[in-house]
Amino acid sequence: MKEITSKFEKVLNASSSYGNVNHEPDSSKEQQRNTPQKSMPFSDQIGNYQRNKGIPPKSYQNSKVYIIGSGIAGMSAAYYFIRDGHIPAENIVFLEQLHIDGGSLDGSGNATEGYVIRGGREMDMTYENLWDIFQDIPALEMPEPYSVLDEYRLINDNDSNFSKARLIHNNGEIKDFSKFGLAKLDQLAIIKLLLKKKEDLDNITISDYFSESFLSSNFWTFWRTMFAFENWHSLLELKLYMHRFLHAIDGLNDLSSLVFPKYNQYDTFVTPLRRVLQKKGVNIRLNVLVSDLHIHSNTEGKTVESIITEQDGKEVIIPVGKEDFVIVTTGSMTEDTFYGDNKTAPIIEIDNSTSGQSAGWKLWKNLAAKSEVFGKPEKFCSNIEKSSWESATLTCKPSALIDKLKEYSVNDPYSGKTVTGGIITITDSNWLMSFTCNRQPHFPGQPDDVLVLWVYALFMDKQGNYIKKTMPACTGDEILSELCFHLGIVDQLDDVIKNTIVRTSFMPYITSMFMPRAKGDRPRVVPNGCKNLGLVGQFIETNNDVVFTMESSVRTARIAVYELLNLNKQVPDINPLQYDIRHLLKAAKTLNDDKPFVGEGLLRRVLKGSYFEHILPIGSNENDDHESFVQEQITKFKDWIKGIKG
């Protein structure tokens, strides 16, 4: 692209940075200091300065891009190849094994047969890469020039999210959820975890580290049910989550830190992004199974030379040129989903001896067999008892269930505004069942008298309190019965069943990305030595981001494009709120259930009346000083002096 930069050649030719950009800077390793050698922003310096357009070092007009998997990661890669890589959209081909695009961001069905939502990702205002895309994608329902981001902001800015019934028990009674209930030693354990180096946490589980008092606290109930963590999951991933969402910790109990779309995430994000890509000319080929890549390796590196596919029952080999690129979504959290309905339980035809054999996992396994740089997929797909749970989507006409729902709702469920404000967890459920009703309608075209609820549980090996079966063994009606028992309306069960369509989804790998792991188990976005291959999705190693979010999928896609094309542009690290003293102080106080943290009283006295007074958490005053450990010691010291003067 010499013509773009021709007027700057003297500077660029003399630069040691040009062509040598670190596309994935790491804020956890960087000491932020300005020096004569530093010309680019700090690793997590988020802002408009980072919105420069990338300039490819050469033209890719004749390059083809093959994207295996049409989830949000693959679609984001296509978007960045077009916007920042200047690759013609018609040169980009999706190869998708399913009959529909969207990957795990699904949402389908109708009011007659029932809607299906296997799950949903938590949303946050700090998803810089996600909003980087969707600030430019035309809105689903607003006219031009408004974007998906504009639509999202419009509804969330004017309809705040919060819960008034985050926890319930005793057959539907709202339980006090105002406190975290963490013992001092458990608060200290969280602080120590934040201080630990990531490298020291390989293959350690959450239960290896935390005490029983932590695992039985309200804090852990809030956390595990909101993010779907189990006690046996990765302590490292939990640490990354705590850094990533430190700024939101004071909204963990009432869910006031969350923002939700108007509709389900398929219609909110996948539909408008797909429309843009197809309008530009991207080719999405469905029902194409990719089984392997032929990779040529030599001293210069690894280059994909062909893609081995199965189409209409026949093997078809797609040649890949030297100037072409391949993007692969490794693994799948929703692969091998088994479905049920009101009268049938999911027929689960898989166990640990047969897991990881479906297309998405086999492709990753075939790559891993070629080189250790492609990671160890078996770490994530070989223990389905620890990576699975089940969800149920309820399509509801008015019934006793809806009447009960109204008692837990912030607004009338039919108002279009926030309903439950996120999940409601039943703390005395043997399954640890939770349910939610998001803004309605949850699907475009959903009838006015229909509500869509979503139910899930974490414990797949426990018998229900009312239905003496495990959740995966239950029909939809039996799951309804268990829910109604916990809501105290089991005497009105016939009315609920008559007016509720249930579609269940058992997902063997839904939290497989949380399984304990070590360095090297997940491949990097562009594995060492790869020349034209990028890996994206939920099973990819990034510096500091978490998994199980749309943001992490988009991040991997953006890194893949920037690195493969060697653009003069960085992908900023996660938002630096974890280093903000205001959020650190707020977190310390929140973990202590809004009681003063050690040294707070002294800090208030020092900062009182100063410019920095506002950085202190709200809700305390000098009358709280006596609760501060430091203040107690000062008082004891004064008393000791008085005793001496005696």
Whether residue 187 contacts residue 216, with contact meaning beta carbons closer than 8 Å, is answered with: no
Neighbours of 552 (CB within 10 A): 27
Whether residue 518 contacts residue 397, with contact meaning beta carbons closer than 8 Å, is answered with: no
456 is known as an active-site residue? no
Whether residue 246 contacts residue 587, with contact meaning beta carbons closer than 8 Å, is answered with: yes
Side-chain half-sphere CA neighbours of 243 within 13 A: 24
DSSP 384-440: GGGT-EEEEEEEE-SSHHHHHHHHH-SS-TTSSS-SSSS-EEETT-TT-EEEE--SS
DSSP 585-600: HHHHHHHTTTSPPTTH
Q: H or E segment at 65? A: strand 65-68
Phi first, then psi: what are they for 46, rounded to 5°? -75, 140
Question: Shortest CA distance to 292 belongs to which of 270, 278, 272, 309?
Answer: 309
Question: Shortest CA distance to 308 belongs to which of 296, 295, 294, 322?
Answer: 294
- Residue 331, both tokens: 């693994």
Question: Shortest CA distance to 452 belongs to which of 491, 490, 414?
Answer: 414
Phi first, then psi: what are they for 235, rounded to 5°? -65, -35
Place of tokens 């369509």: 501
Helix (H, G, I), strand (E, B) or coil at 545: coil
Which residue of the set 122, 128, 482, 541 is catalytic? 122
Amino acid occupying residue 590: T
Phi first, then psi: what are they for 505, rounded to 5°? -140, 115
The span from the CA of 103 to the CA of 106, in Å, is 7
Which residue of the set 60, 66, 241, 456 is catalytic? 241
Whether residue 552 contacts residue 388, with contact meaning beta carbons closer than 8 Å, is answered with: no
266 is known as an active-site residue? no
Active site (catalytic) residues: 122, 241
